[in-house]
Amino acid sequence: MVEFFRAGGPFMFLLLLTSIVGLTFIVERGLALRWSKVVPPSVEKALEDFQAGQDVSSLKQICLLKPSALSRLLLVAAEHLIWPKGENEGAVQTRARHEIVQLERGLVVLEIVVGIAPLLGLVGTIHGLITLFAELGTVGMSDNAAMAKGIAIALNTTLMGLLIAIPSLIAWSYYTKKVEILGIEMETLCDEFLRRQYRGKEMF
C-alpha cells in the first residue's frame, strides 16, 4: 500500500489528504444528522401530549434538557406566544433557516471533495505520463514492459480520485436529502404546535 502511494507521485499524497478530509466530514455529519439528535423522541412525545392552554413551562423544560434543532425552534415558538400568530411564525422561520444552515455545515466540503478528487487524479495521471514519456525520450522505447508498467502507475491517481469521489458523492446526496427530510419534519411539528396554541384566538 505504501508503495502504491509512492508510485503515484506527489499528487497521490494530495489525494490522500483529500480522502482524510472527506472521511472526516462523512463521519462528522453522520453523527450530527442522527434523527434522535435533531428530533429527539422525548421532545416529539412531549409535543404530541401537549394540549392547548397548558402551561408551556413543562415543554420548555424538556426542550432545555434535550437541546436539539427541534428544541430550539419550539423554545422560540413558546417564548413568543404573546405575539400574533404571523409574527411568531416569522420568528420560528428565521430560526429555522439558521438551524438548517447548521445542519448543512460541512456538506459544502463534501461537495468540493466530489469535484476536486477526480481532477487531482487526472492531473496526477497527466503528470505521471509526462514524466514517463520524458524518460522514454532519453532511453528509448525498447522496453515495452517498463512502458506499460509506467502507464499503469500513472493511472493510479485517476483510480484513487474516483475511489474518493464516489463515496463522497453518495454521502453528500444522502445527507442533503436527510437535511431536507429533517427540515420538513421540524416544520410540520412546529406548525402543528402553533396551530393548536392559536386555535380559537383572534388573529391580527
Nearest by Cα to 168 from 27, 14, 35, 31: 27
Residue-level pLDDT at 142 = 63
Number of continuous H segments (helices) and E segments (strands) in the chain:
10, 0
pTM of the model: 0.86
Residue with cell 396551530: 195
Residues 6+ apart with CB under 8 A from 105: 32
Residues 6+ apart with CB under 8 A from 171: 22, 26, 29, 30, 110
Residue-level pLDDT at 54 = 74
3-state SS record for 75-98: HHHHHCCCCCHHHHHHHHHHHHHH
Residue-level pLDDT at 201 = 63
Where are the domains positioned within the chain?
2-198
Residue-level pLDDT at 204 = 43
DSSP element (H, E) containing 152: helix 144-154
Helices 57-65, 41-49: inter-axial angle, 10-degree rounding = 170
Residue-level pLDDT at 203 = 46
Nearest by Cα to 131 from 11, 5, 1, 14: 11
The number of residues in the chain equals 204
Mean pLDDT, 10 residues at a time, the chain of 204 residues: 70 92 96 96 90 81 94 94 92 95 95 96 88 72 68 86 96 97 96 86 50
Residue-level pLDDT at 74 = 95
